[in-house]
Structure 1
């Protein structure tokens, strides 16, 4: 058996954790049923992403983009759990199978337990915001720790666990925060953020998705997201039907411009930071908002149900 995950060219910890989470949850799964694809964490129930051929074992995946694959053949699709009730309804299975995002089980791993707190507040942007925005500079301006979602998954998760409050544009930033009992505040910089998948997870734990708006931090970010920056609108090139692989601008967060004189580059950087002041103010305000956290009993109940699913998989596949 091998795990499937959507691989961003830039890196995205919420998808990358599939590389090691299942070895903890189902030790030895790679040694059995080599013809089966384990479809786990991620919004990957999409006919464009998953191969048509072969057997699939679905444990906690979600819908959110494009169209579903044909999942009607029970010989090819073994659906043990999906991320939440919205995905269950979309797929056409019992809503009771919409248990929780499997990423909550990361908090059970010994290496993440009892990590000391190091950050008062941390911001985890969506990966698209990270590749095009000025968020490290914005966070530094308002005294908030910046967590890059493109970093090594275990390091990103440890930084979340070490925080006292998480400001999350990344859905898995909120999911992991909640799993580690770290209060969180949801924010959004554009309409590109997928509310379906957020609500799918939120419904499993009795929390709500009401993101606070934070303006984009750069012109390049506005171009990428098809939104407004300082009153200038940028048209979204196409509706999002699946996770986008590579839509980033130049590495400096703007369209490619070669800087030959250091002084001009410094002035340009200062100008960018000035233009990002509305983003900094909104992020600072988000950090002062009342955070939320699911009830201990709700999280424990969902994790118990997910363990039952894992027990069933072990019984039937090992």
Structure 2
């Protein structure tokens, strides 16, 4: 298997959550990974991209191959007229499973495996504030950081591995970016869901889907204006749903197809 594994990830705008897909699939497969057009790829992984999977696979491929869907999620329900043309190995969560009407052996977003790609840096006494890329121009975020030195603004448009290092070094993370929460979970960093209003037409589904997959009881997201009064009480201990995160990591590793791996270099 010398040819690169072809993977689709959303690349229209810089966003670390999509960019880490390549590093994680390369680590798990033991192969070089290259971006591919949706209709030509071997794998779909990280991202709320089920609509892309459907759009590019409503008809069978001429060569008969079926791309693998591994840990992918969705922004909203999609029609299921593509399922016979793909191999669904795993989904982000049970909501995706129910909406597609399929059965999968477990749940998990591949971003949970970021801790297998890089070592965790030393923790620091700071709280990471991670706006979704669609919110980065909101001056309220920078004003809040300027007023509270314990906060560090983490820009999701930065180099993907560096963004992950910043997250992993935090004592706590507050994020309206789904993968801000997921990467924090990967490294065991406690985290809080920040209101994602305005980032998508239906932003909550992907968060609830992921949380259900790791058995996390996810309360309503906090409002940015309420954050100053919460800073001193944000938890910094172990994740109460750590067992669910560990199970999802195992499910992700077990479900990645052996046929796509390099036997010598893959992660088991």
User: Which of 167, 178, 182 does residue 171 from structure 1 map onto?
Assistant: 178
Summarize the Cα distance change of 1:50–1:56 in structure 2 as closer, same or farther, 3 Å threshold. Answer: farther
Gapped regions of structure 1 (runs ≥ 5)? 216-278
Per-residue CA deviations over 1:179-227 (Å, capped at 9, x if unaligned) read: 1111111111526561111111101222122244425xxxxxxxxxxxx
SS in 1 for 2:219: coil
Q: Is the 8 A contact 2:167 2:183 kept in 1?
A: yes
TM-score, normalisation: structure 1: 0.69
Deviates more, 1:136-145 or 1:177-186: 136-145
Summarize the Cα distance change of 1:30–1:164 in structure 2 as closer, same or farther, 3 Å threshold. Answer: closer
User: Which of 206, 227, 231 does residue 283 from structure 1 map onto?
Assistant: 227
Answering whether residue 146 of structure 2 is matched by residue 140 of structure 1, we say yes
| CA RMSD in angstroms, aligned pairs only | 2.6
Question: Per-residue deviation at 1:19?
Answer: 2.6
Summarize the Cα distance change of 1:183–1:77 in structure 2 as closer, same or farther, 3 Å threshold. Answer: same
Q: Is the 8 A contact 2:31 2:261 kept in 1?
A: no
Answering whether residue 15 of structure 2 is matched by residue 12 of structure 1, we say yes
Distance 1:161 1:195 in 2: 24
Higher-RCO chain (CA-CA 8 Å, sequence separation at least 6): 2
**Structure 2 residue aligned with 1:44:** 49
TM-score, normalisation: structure 2: 0.80
Answering whether residue 123 of structure 2 is matched by residue 123 of structure 1, we say no
Summarize the Cα distance change of 1:185–1:314 in structure 2 as closer, same or farther, 3 Å threshold. Answer: same
SS in 1 for 2:147: helix
Please identify the structure whose Cα radius of gyration is greater: 1
Distance 2:139 2:53 in 1: 28
**Structure 2 residue aligned with 1:260:** none
Q: Is the 8 A contact 2:9 2:45 kept in 1?
A: yes
Summarize the Cα distance change of 1:212–1:18 in structure 2 as closer, same or farther, 3 Å threshold. Answer: closer
